[in-house]
Amino acid sequence: MILAVALVLLVVGSVLFHFLSPWYFTPIASNWGMIDDTVSITFWVTGFVFVAVNLFMAYCVLRYRHKRGSRAAYEPENKKLEGWLIGLTTLGIVAMLAPGLLVWAKFVDVPKDAAVFEAVGRQWYWNYRFPGKDGVLGAVDARFVSDKNPLGVNPDDPFGRDDVLITSPEVHLPVGKPVKALLRSLDVLHDFAVPQFRVKMDLVPGLVTYAWFTPTRTGTFDMLCEELCGTAHFTMRGKVVVEEEHKFREWLSSYPTFAQSLARPAGDAGAGKPLYATCAGCHGAQGEGNPALNAPKLSGQGDWYLKRQLTYFKSGARGAHEQDVYGKQMAAMAATLADETAIDNVVAYIGTLPDAPAPGTLKNDAAEGRNRYVTCGTCHGRNGRGTQATNAPRLAGMSDWYMVRQLANFKQRIRGAHPKDPYGPQMVSMAEILPDDKAIADVVAYINTFK
């Protein structure tokens, strides 16, 4: 009796939940509305079976419960009934499978006019590549991959010279144009997924996979890695900005071609020396940092990281948050660097400064921080040396008080939440695993033990 009521309530509850709950597909932003349609068909067919069979079961449970003197019927089989049930089920299956296969036929058949771009995944971020004027992407090979050639484009392939390299997790696409995403991984499996496009495909090292779609409305859409790719998997995010064609062209032209990035001269430390005089006021003549002036140690830090942060300060991606008092100071100073060449030069000069470990200022328990650092070490290295390949700056021997402040800033989204700081959200997510100030100080105290 109770069981029959419970079954009916579960059926009714499930149906109501389906129609009333606020959790369902996000509004679609691509041409794949027919995927949603196949889902709807599947819902109608399976929903009917769900309701019918369960209500019939509830009826049986109620009607044929044991009563004094009752006895079950004896009917070993009923071929006719079973035949009918098999037939109807087959019909339902065909009703779901046929539209599914038709849509899949469209999905595997890329339109001839689809524009090609490449999304490259690596632990734990995205980069992209667009073909240049020739419309052809240059050849790639894992053995060409280096910090200077992060996507491994073959320098001898003429088709690759004019490829535009997007060294950012954010990609822009023109609205209303079909695009074919070629997908490539440098290390492990990843997955290119944009929930609002309903499109998803794995990246497999050693293969190039693809997916195609037409973005149908402008806006910014979250892109997620949806194939487990290691500890920082959940922070491997990208953004797809869909915009008008001319804005897209403008954005694309702001990135260098492969040839340009190769031709870019290394920074000139000699030219950077006079520029550094301004910096030295706070950061010290040897780049050793000065806690009293809130200036962290610079010497020994990765040049790629210094360059990115100076660029951020200069462009307003960092030091723009109203609570970031010291960041604002630095933004004003970075503004005095004229251009990218000036930044390269001053960074080159910092690279020549002697690298002595910054004195530790924390008294916290390094042993407590050790367990917490396991996650940090995934990108920053077991010994905190940092590496450009994972976008992780050096931590070992750097100013501990500064790391404490930055972790707090990331946690409170004072740093890392600016829309022009695409790598920031990753560290925001990671800083959140440190529950309080003590945890932050513990983990930095552990970093202080690195030699």
C-beta of 292: minimal distance to another protein in Å? 32
Our finding on whether 425 is near another protein (CB under 8 A) is yes
- Footprint (CB under 8 A) of another protein, residues 181-210: 183, 186-189, 191, 193, 195-196, 198-207, 209
> What is the contact mask toward another protein in residues 328 to 347, using x (rule: CB under 8 A)?
--------------------
Q: Which of 20, 73, 263, 292 binds another protein (CB under 8 A)?
A: 73
Our finding on whether 366 is near another protein (CB under 8 A) is no
C-beta of 71: minimal distance to another protein in Å? 5
Instruction: Name the residue nearer to another protein (CB basis): 155 or 158.
Output: 155
The strands making up 125-130's β-sheet, listed across from edge to edge, are 164-166, 125-130, 115-122, 179-185, 209-213
DSSP 95-141: HHHHHHHHHHHHHHS--TTPEEEEEEEETTEEEEEE--TT--PPPB-
- Footprint (CB under 8 A) of another protein, residues 150-169: 152
Q: CB neighbours (10 Å) of residue 397?
A: 22
Instruction: Name the residue nearer to another protein (CB basis): 95 or 275.
Output: 95
Instruction: Name the residue nearer to another protein (CB basis): 64 or 277.
Output: 64
C-beta of 90: minimal distance to another protein in Å? 6
The CA distance from 414 to 322, in Å, is 8
DSSP 253-305: HTS-BHHHHHHPPPP-HHHHHHHHHHHHHHH-TTS--BGGGTB---TTS-HHH
Phi-psi region of 11 (alpha: psi -120 to 50; beta: other; left: phi over 0): alpha
Residues 6+ apart with CB under 8 A from 263: none
Beta bridge mates, 317 = none
Instruction: Name the residue nearer to another protein (CB basis): 276 or 373.
Output: 373
- Footprint (CB under 8 A) of another protein, residues 367-396: 371-372, 374-375, 378-379, 387-390
- Footprint (CB under 8 A) of another protein, residues 263-302: none
Instruction: Name the residue nearer to another protein (CB basis): 276 or 446.
Output: 446
Phi-psi region of 198 (alpha: psi -120 to 50; beta: other; left: phi over 0): left
Q: CB neighbours (10 Å) of residue 147?
A: 11
For residues 163 and 283, the answer to whether their CB atoms sit within 8 Å is: no
Identify the DSSP state of 391.
Answer: T
Our finding on whether 61 is near another protein (CB under 8 A) is yes
The tokens for 126 are: 């995205």
The CA distance from 186 to 208, in Å, is 11
C-beta of 246: minimal distance to another protein in Å? 25
Our finding on whether 139 is near another protein (CB under 8 A) is no
Instruction: Name the residue nearer to another protein (CB basis): 64 or 335.
Output: 64
Closest listed residue to residue 179, CA positions, set 171, 169, 187: 171
Our finding on whether 65 is near another protein (CB under 8 A) is yes
Our finding on whether 357 is near another protein (CB under 8 A) is no
C-beta of 156: minimal distance to another protein in Å? 18
Our finding on whether 227 is near another protein (CB under 8 A) is yes
Q: Which of 118, 120, 123, 161 binds another protein (CB under 8 A)?
A: 123
Our finding on whether 77 is near another protein (CB under 8 A) is yes
Our finding on whether 56 is near another protein (CB under 8 A) is yes
Phi-psi region of 306 (alpha: psi -120 to 50; beta: other; left: phi over 0): alpha
Instruction: Name the residue nearer to another protein (CB basis): 305 or 326.
Output: 305
The tokens for 155 are: 């320098």
Instruction: Name the residue nearer to another protein (CB basis): 273 or 413.
Output: 413
